[in-house]
Chains A and B, each alone.
Chain A
Amino acid sequence: MKTVLYKRPKSLTSVPTHYCPGCGHGIVHRLIAEVVDGLDIRERTIGIAPVGCAVLAYFYFNFDVTEAAHGRCAAVATGIKRVLPDRIVFSYQGDGDLAAIGLAETIHAANRGENITVVFVNNTVYGMTGGQMAPTTLVGQKTSTTPDGRDAPTMGPPLRMCELLNTLPSPYHIERVALDGPAGVRKARNALMKAFRAQLENKGYSFVEILASCPTHQRLSPAQALKFVGGEMASQFPVRVFREEGKAVNA
């Protein structure tokens, strides 16, 4: 008697991804596909792909996906969800897309309590364009635009998006998870499941920040990058639930 313990999700296409070996995006794509399969919403789901390494996300998901201008996913998601309220609309964004150029759209969509799900992949760098500093780069972290390490007095410290959004009354679910090992991956899947389910039940805005590896620009091997995510990154970006069922959760 055969039981399948783990199978490639249906909501992923059969296209090998262009992501680097060990890239966190690959894991997040897979988790989203698993959640969409698990909730059986593939035919109702519309994704919004960012500009960044995940710009080609639409080749990997087996459901409707649109591109958006850099940083504008939250506005595009608003435009879709308001006219198609019974579809499941999620945006998928990286550091620059969500926290730099798109910060205004991110905050205002959250503040309006749009009934969408926002997936934020935080790997502390701008991958696609060659590893530049991101709003989430750690102090002292060397990137291509901070060759001597991020200097807080001149560049500011990293932005904590969960904490920022947690100051708004409207969001329903805010959670940060870390892809630092199989246990972290399972927690991330649970968080995404809660977020998508919140939208399915018309509960409001859900936000999942996922700390992820970028071995190439974090300048580590894939296995070392996992440790970096669980170690230095998690110290700067506490892994916990910030808002659950509309209520703030204390640290």
Chain B
Amino acid sequence: MTGNDAIAEAAIRAGCDAYYGYPITPQNEIANYMARHMPARGGVFIQAESELAAINMVFGTAVAGRRAMTSSSSPGVSLKQEGISYLAGAELPAVIVNVQRGGPGLGNIAPSQSDYFQAVKGGGHGDYHQIVLAPDSVQEMYDLTALAFDLADRYRNPVMVLADGRLGQMMEPVTLHEVRSRPPPKPWALTGARGRKPNLIRSLLLGEGELERHNLRLQRKYARISRSEQRWEERNARNCDVLIVAYGTCARIARGCAAAAADFGLKAGLFRPISLWPFPSRPMRRAASSARCVLVIEMSAGQMLEDVRLAVAGMAPVFFLGRMGGGVPEEGEVLRRLRALAKTTRRRSHGAE
């Protein structure tokens, strides 16, 4: 299955009631899959008039207490930012998929990771967070999308699946695990005030101190999420010469390069964040504490790099290898960099002795 199709299939199996989307490369396959399969399996499919309309239809379905998803790619996700802020402010569950492409502006249709800031640091206005999950394989495109619906309902929060064009287009074998997801009861939803007081969903709080109290509540929720929902993968991360930190497509490349690096005697480990928010800071610091240096590989000008620097907090020097505008790091350039780093760190440690 392709990555895009896996996302769509996972959503359907997770009980997604409605999908609203708008065409944009490289994620059109998600909408096409949904158009074919959703109505047949009892769900709603609408090709909306814009990404803006789509996120607001998601808002409506979430208000009604049902599971909804939308997908897009970078420029379209920019349009959704207002809607995501509203979802977060009104505490509504929703799943948003961003299959990243080169930017800024119209960019190109090649893969990138340059929407990290937009996804993790806000994108929309106000003090909010969406949970951000970063798959690195078609299997994870499936598993993490199903998980996204669960997390969204559990915390009444938007969840983003942050992939890239390469993951969306690639084809790999997938095991379609049974999704045991059951939506929790939603007494807050708008279903018609029968036998209860009318419900109200809003994010406008004009009363004295009301909005600040609401923000404090949201921050406490985010703290709870931070404690419980950090996800990451470590491979040979202890006592390595270079700890590579990468996610998504870059992690796949890093895995291969780390194996190849052993050939010239370099012990390269991999720390792969799977949840970009909440960011697995403490485990990363632990791993970095025994590494001689850290190399962050990203398809961007260095966005996750900033969070890695914060997490590592000086435990080890942090280096960066990035490609922008749709460029994808090649094994050759990564290995050259690893070799160079290996020389530097050995020289340093020799100097220290």
Residues A12-48 near B (CB distance < 8 A): 42-46, 48
**Contact flag A68-B56 (CB < 8 Å), given A80-B64, A83-B17:** yes
Within 8 A of B (CB), among A210-228: none
Interface flag for A170 (CB, 8 Å): no
Question: How long is the Cα–Cα vector from A76 to B87 in the complex, in angstroms?
Answer: 12
Which of A57-65, A135-143, A146-154, A230-238 is near enough to bind chain B? Answer: A57-65
Query: Given contacts A72-B59, A83-B44, A84-B64, is CB(A65)–CB(B198) below 8 Å?
Result: yes
In the complex, whether A180 has a CB less than 8 A from a CB of chain B is no
Distance in angstroms from A165 CB to nearest chain B CB is 15
A83 CB contact (under 8 Å) in B52, B66, B192, B199: B66
Indicate if A93 sits at the interface (CB-CB under 8 A): no
| Total residue contacts A-B, CB cutoff 8 A | 125
Tell me if B350 counts as interface (CB < 8 A to partner A): no
Bound-state CA distance A77–B20 (Å) is 13
B82 at the interface (CB under 8 A from A): yes
Contact A104 B56 (CB under 8 A): no
| Count of chain B residues near A, Cβ 8 A | 39
Task: Assess whether B192 is in contact with A44, with CB atoms less than 8 Å apart.
Answer: yes
Nearest CB of chain B from residue A79's CB, rounded to whole Å: 2
Name A's interface SS.
helix
User: In the bound complex, do residue A46 and residue B190 qualify as a contact, i.e. CB atoms below 8 Å apart?
Assistant: yes
Q: Which of B48, B56, B198 interacts with A62 by CB under 8 Å?
A: B198
Residue of B nearest to A111 (CB): B49
Is there an interface contact between A67 and B53, defined as CB atoms closer than 8 Å?
no
A79→B18 contact, CB < 8 A: yes
Known interface pairs A72-B59, A79-B62, A80-B61; 6 further A-B residue pairs with C-beta atoms within 8 A, sorted by A's residue number: A63-B192, A67-B203, A75-B48, A76-B57, A79-B57, A82-B44
Report which A residues bind B (CB closer than 8 A): 42-46, 48, 55, 58, 61-69, 72, 75-84, 87, 104-105, 107-108, 112
**5 closest A-B pairs by CB:** A79-B60, A75-B56, A72-B56, A76-B60, A79-B57
